[in-house]
Amino acid sequence: MKPMLNQDCLISLVIPVFNEEANLDQLIERCLSVCRGLGNPFEIILVDDGSQDQSAKLIEYAALANPELKGVFLNRNYGQHAAVTAGFETSKGEIIITLDADLQNPPEEIPRLIQAIHQGYDVVGSVRQNRKDSFFRKFSSALVNWFVQKTTGVMMHDYGCMLRAYRRNIVDAVLSCPERSTFIPILANNFARNVTEIPVSHDERKNGHTKYSLYKLISLQFDLLTCMTTFPLRLLSILGALAFLAGTGFGVFLIVMRLIFGASWAAEGVFTLFAVMFTFTGAQFLVFGLLGEYIGRIYHDVQARPKYYIQKIVGPTD
């Protein structure tokens, strides 16, 4: 493992914020209290991801009133991981902590992540205990975790939890990646040598509403599927070969049965023809849709547009 970091190293806390005006005052108060108790210099970076409520104003007021706070304001909503990346870009710490703004993951767990980093780990994840989310959220999270484990081979159990700690070199490696669609926990694990995770408590959302609708969760599934691996394309080739063999075998079977029992055996073959046609038509649309996902990503990456645009920064920048 890597040697322990200097106990006086700077700690950066990066928090993406989107329409969380009801939680911000308590979030800032609790984060300041925790960070001041660490005994390390620190900075708290609140990244406003194009909020439509009063979140941006609250962040600006807090940044002007507290020298440890920095407000980073994006011109529109880019998504959670783009906002975290913007926070990474403006951070200066040797240890970088990420945290959601909804207070479901208590800021009071931060010292335990830092302690694990000091033990020599590059990335420290967290596993939410006794989750207070709906069954649908738990099920979708379990599905994501299973898929990521099978695809990457890294057996971490809660990729959806934003409460995580990274060393500076890992964050710099993540920032060096030019692709637009990134899932930071997975990308960071690709660069890390020593990875661990710790159990953390999980609270109910007391204010505001979850930002992950059914559509966004489905979009996240596609992002995960296409940003990590080309295995689905190989799988399509295998399924195509199996479908071809099955169709050929079924065609031979129909010819034999027709010769034995005559044309009346299967209603002159009309319904069988429709069944086969619909099956293969549906399979083609599935294949084209998945290919379209990859082609769309190639299109966006070739454009080489920025992942986000920082409109302004309020607070210390040196």
Q: Report pLDDT digits (tens) over 105-155.
A: 899 999 999 999 999 999 998 888 877 666 666 666 666 667 666 665 666
How many CB atoms neighbour CB 237 within 10 A?
A: 10
Calculate the CA dihedral of residues 114, 115, 118, 123 and round it to 10 degrees.
-50
Please provide the average confidence, as pLDDT, over all residues in the chain: 79
Q: Among 66-70, 98-102, 256-260, which stretch is predicted with the lowest mean pLDDT?
A: 256-260
pLDDT band at 12, cuts 50/70/90? very high
User: What pLDDT is recorded for position 287?
Assistant: 73
Q: Among 30-39, 78-87, 176-185, which stretch is predicted with the lowest mean pLDDT?
A: 176-185
Q: What's the rounded Cα separation, in Å, for the pair 83 and 49?
A: 6
User: What pLDDT is recorded for position 187?
Assistant: 82
**In the block, which residue shows the tokens 């998504």?**
79
Residue boundaries of the structural domains of the chain: 11-229+308-314, 231-303
Region label for 45, one of left (φ > 0), alpha (ψ between -120 and 50) or beta (otherwise): beta
In terms of CATH, what superfamily is 11-229+308-314? Spore Coat Polysaccharide Biosynthesis Protein SpsA; Chain A (3.90.550.10)
Cβ-contact 44, 71 below 8 angstroms: no
Cβ-contact 16, 47 below 8 angstroms: yes
User: What pLDDT is recorded for position 5?
Assistant: 58
User: What pLDDT is recorded for position 307?
Assistant: 73
pLDDT band at 31, cuts 50/70/90? very high
Q: Compute φ and ψ for 81, nearest 5 degrees.
A: -75, -35
Of 33-42, 175-184, 204-213, 269-278, highest mean pLDDT: 33-42
pLDDT band at 267, cuts 50/70/90? low
Q: How far is CA 252 from CA 244, 248, 289, in A?
A: 12, 6, 30
Q: Compute φ and ψ for 104, nearest 5 degrees.
A: -75, -30
Q: What's the rounded Cα separation, in Å, for the pair 97 and 116?
A: 12
